[in-house]
Amino acid sequence: MKTEVVRDADRDDRCTVGNLRVNPVFYRFVEDELLPAISFDSAAFWRGFEDLIDDLTPVNRELLQVRDELQRKIDAWHKARDGSRWNHDEYVDFLTGIGYLIKPGESFQITTSGVDPEIATIAGPQLVVPVNNARFALNAANARWGSLYDALYGSDVIAEKDGQRRGSSYNKQRGAAVIRYAISFLDRALPLDTASHGDVVNYALDLAASSVTFRATLKDGRTVTLRDAETFVGYKVMDDGHSFLFLHNNLHIEIQTDREHVIGRDAPGNVCDIVLEAAITTIQDCEDSVSAVDAEDKVRVYRNWLGLMQCSLEAVLEKDGRQMTRRLSADREYTAVDGEVLVLPGRSLLLVRSVGHLMTSDAVLDRNGEEIFESTLDAVVTSACAIANSRQSQMLPNSRSGSIYIVMPKMHGPDEAAFTNTLFARVEELLQLAPNTLKVGVMDEERRTTVNLQECIRAVKERLVFINTGFLDRTGDEIHTSMHAGPMLPKESIKTQPWISAYEDWNVDIGIRCGLSGKAQIGKGMWPKPDLMKQMMDTKQAQLEAGASCAWVPSPTAATLHAMHYHTVNVRQRQDDIASRQLASLEDILTPPLGDPSTLTATAIQDELNNNAQGILGYVVRWIDQGVGCSKVPDISGAGLMEDRATLRISSQHIANWLLHDVTTEEQVLATLKRMAGIVDEQNSSDPGYERMSDDFDASIAFQAACDLVFKACEQSNGYTEPLLHARRRQKKNPLSCALNLSTLP
């Protein structure tokens, strides 16, 4: 295939490959890094890529048109019934008539094969991180194992009272509290026969039998065993101590002993640490937690994902005054009880989350000179990168079954799921992969997917490995879909309405009925408060009790702590119990969370606006000005929340809904945005790279982006924030080439 460099009319150098015009930065990445890593022919790659784009771009475009047409019909239906009493049956008939709600077909079971146990059979925490941040990406990948002592000592799970405060040096009183907490955990997960782990003076191996057994000597001289001896599965013997390996609820626990260790010498049984198998899976994100608006940004995303797959990614950082290099962890090796070598994965199983079907990328222009759809670009490039995992020299496999796991967000209904299935099949054909090598995760975060979830699953039943729920995006779509139905309740009240609990239960119910138990993950959403780990420990177990086999956490520390919940709840048994319950109420799911604004005081309305506006600005200012797509953003009270783009969707749609229904005014909202901009400026005052918004609102692109999100929210397709954000970020990066006219904005 002929390749040449040409100069476009807009003076942007592009490489012409066949009928494609490729950004040179992206072209060089593919030619110099990606294709050599997988030993793939350049001409075959570009020819197949072009054919795929030619065939699937029109289909993608038509599906987006269907989204918009359905929304127009729903808006018109609500407008025509303005002031009428809500009639659920009439609404369902309408949605069915326009093809929004599809009658489910006969029951079926997914047939996905070649799935790694981390997804199919092991229930555990799941991390989600922006893949363009190498340090975050590596930390998450290495969070498969975590120190329980460190997680407890460094978090608020252990109260800072009675001399237990954290400081610059080790606090023995705090350490003693950590040990007491850890002993309580061991007594629940690995109970000894007629004794507590707190009574142990020595853990040892009994080598007399045909297979090695585990023994504990108590303070009173007695020797006891585990209540369930089969939980002991392996060990290591070191010069200074032992590591004892256990398996409970399909997760490993490692007890490390060392009588000379600063902690171990004072701990029962000389336990110097307890290491938990924690982040079983990690989603390396190309989407909501990433700010990638052009070809250069996309290459940074892809280069890190390729580095993870090649096991070559590194991150240099400073810790305790020393420079260190972070790399992927090696596998962990033990001696099994039968004397054989036992090797366990040292890293989390990695999935990659693609961009949804809406956005386009300037990395490649098609034969018509138009940007190609970003989901197509992601599917091809991330899959090609993943092939490198089987070719890398360090032999640190990601999927031991040879599968490639791609999570697809923001799909609307079965037709879009079927399109994803076709896209993945075409990528497999292009890259010469066996059918269904590419596995798919379906994010249930759009209402048309929720109400048609069974048929969405049917469309990908041979490659499905994951479904999940998420409050923020799902509520954002709920508000936008029902924008003209009436004013919405305040956000905190929306969380308590029947639709949200029905939605959460529906996802689990449909997943179990479609045979996901033992074959695929059923997930629940993120804990957003990385500093409030005690609150997480008090509440997040409910997601497992609701049937989730994985739930999202914001940090390796959170993953280690959350892992304890999986030793309390046997998720597979819980799913078996749930299987016989009545299906969640579709009527509740299809009842919008409408409120009566006359019951709200002026103060309550202003407080809600303050909360929404501050959350939007706090996230947008980093996204636009610094290109940060995921970070710990202070909320209005100063508490740090791990935010991604979904927070913008729900908050902007909520304000727009109240504007539309005269709960507030444009003047009040704009005044609120300006006032909250000042608060956000102060919250970021210690950041030397921060650009203040309140000094000049008209000149602040970040502030104008926030105004766009609010005042143009109703006209955005499905309430998505990406088109406006991308335009403003591109303006920030290239102010002279951007054609945006600030004077047209509110």
By CB atoms closer than 10 A (0-12, 13-18, 19+), residue 699 is exposed
Using the Cα atoms of residue 471, residue 453, residue 351 and residue 336 in order, give the sign of their dihedral: positive
- Give the separation between CA 40 and CA 183, rounded to whole angstroms: 53
CA-based nearest residue to 702, from 669, 736, 668, 742: 742
Question: Largest alpha-carbon pair distance within the chain?
Answer: 87
- Give the separation between CA 290 and CA 134, rounded to whole angstroms: 12
Tokens 């025509």: give the residue: 80
Using the Cα atoms of residue 488, residue 490, residue 492 and residue 496 in order, give the sign of their dihedral: negative
> In 10 A of CB 261, how many CB atoms?
17
Is 644 one of the annotated active-site residues of the chain?
yes
Q: Are 77 and 100 in contact (CB under 8 A)?
A: no
Instruction: Choose the catalytic residue: 14, 21, 347, 353.
Output: 353
Strand arrangement of the beta sheet that strand 223-224 belongs to: 200-206, 213-218, 223-224
Q: Are 374 and 53 in contact (CB under 8 A)?
A: no
Instruction: Choose the catalytic residue: 258, 288, 366, 644.
Output: 644
Using the Cα atoms of residue 478, residue 482, residue 488 and residue 489 in order, give the sign of their dihedral: negative
By CB atoms closer than 10 A (0-12, 13-18, 19+), residue 341 is exposed
**315-319 and 322-326 beta bridge pairing:** antiparallel
In three-state secondary structure terms, 590 is coil
Is 607 one of the annotated active-site residues of the chain?
no
Number of DSSP helices (H) and strands (E) in the chain, helices first: 26, 27
- Give the separation between CA 240 and CA 458, rounded to whole angstroms: 55
Tokens 């120190």: give the residue: 147
Encoding tokens for residue 438? 């590419």
How far from each other are the two terminal CA atoms of the chain, in whole angstroms? Answer: 49
Encoding tokens for residue 53? 């784009």
Angle 23-27-29 from CA coordinates, rounded to 5°? 125
In three-state secondary structure terms, 279 is coil
What is the secondary structure of 86-148 as a DSSP string? P-HHHHHHHHHHTTSS----S-------S--HHHHT----EEEEETT-HHHHHHHHGGGEEEH
Q: Catalytic residue positions?
A: 353, 644
